[in-house]
Amino acid sequence: MPSKTYTEQFKRDAVALYENSDGASIQKIATDLGINRVTLKNWITKYGAHASTSKNSAATELSVAEENRQLKKENALLREERDILRKAAKYFPGKRRTGDPLPVR
């Protein structure tokens, strides 16, 4: 699949749209524009308001936000797995936890 070429003005407009959209995620803006999330993230790093003042600061903010999103997603998955295991444990009443005394025969 051939890669698309975007004008510098389009890139700057996309970055401006992201920066002026309160609470909008990079993924949402990228999907709305029909571009890849990583592409938009790279443009934000290059053309964003923080790019000229502090490139490391902008990259750190993005990485912290991305890490936060990933941790929330993982947390939700772990809670779902825990709930499934709790429900499954009801179907196996003969199984005992470690430390519970075994019945004497």
CA distance 15 to 45: 9
Residue 102 lies in a domain: no
Over 60: is that where the pLDDT of 1 sits? Answer: no
Residue 75 lies in a domain: yes
Quote the domain boundaries for residue 19. Answer: 8-89
Residue 39 lies in a domain: yes
Give the tokens for residue 58. Answer: 């902008």
What CATH number is associated with residue 14?
A: 1.10.10
Residue 103 lies in a domain: no
Residue 104 lies in a domain: no
Give the tokens for residue 71. Answer: 């941790």
Predicted confidence (pLDDT) per residue in 45-81, tens digit: 998 877 655 555 656 666 788 888 899 999 999 999 9
Q: Quick one: pLDDT band at residue 36, thresholds 50, 70, 90? A: very high
Distances (CA, A) of 63 to 8, 32, 35, 42: 24, 22, 20, 12
